[in-house]
Amino acid sequence: MTLWYQFKVFIEHASGISMDALHILVGVALQLLCARLIKVPLTDRRPWLFVLALLLINEASDLWDEQWPQPAMQYGEGLKDIILTMLLPTLLLLFARLRPGDVVTPDGRATDREPDDLLRE
C-alpha cells in the first residue's frame, strides 16, 4: 500500500466522513483553491481541469494499490468516485459560464461577459 493510500484511509477514519463525501468536498475545495491561487474566475476551465487531472491520478493510484476480486466492482467504484468528485465542480463551472452576471470576479465586480462569449472560448 502506498503512503498516499494510507493517508487517505487515515483522513477518512480521523474525520469520520465517508470516502464518498470526501470526494465531493475535496473536488469543490480544490476547484475553488486552484481558481484563487492562479487568480482566475470560476468561468475559467483551468481549475476544473486541475481537479480532473488530480482525480484521474488518484483513481489510477487506487487501481494500482487495490486489487479487488471482481474488477467490474472496482471499476464501478472508480467511476462512482469520478462522478461524485466532478459533479459539483462541473455544475459550478457551468453556472459561472452560463450565468456570468450571478458570479463576481476576484476584485468583487460582477462579470460583464455574455454567456455566448464564454462558451466560444
Best CA proximity match to 76, nearest among 87, 62, 89 = 62
pTM of the predicted structure, to 2 decimals? 0.78
Walking along the chain (121 residues) 10 residues at a time, the average pLDDT comes out as: 84 89 94 94 94 94 84 90 96 89 62 54 53
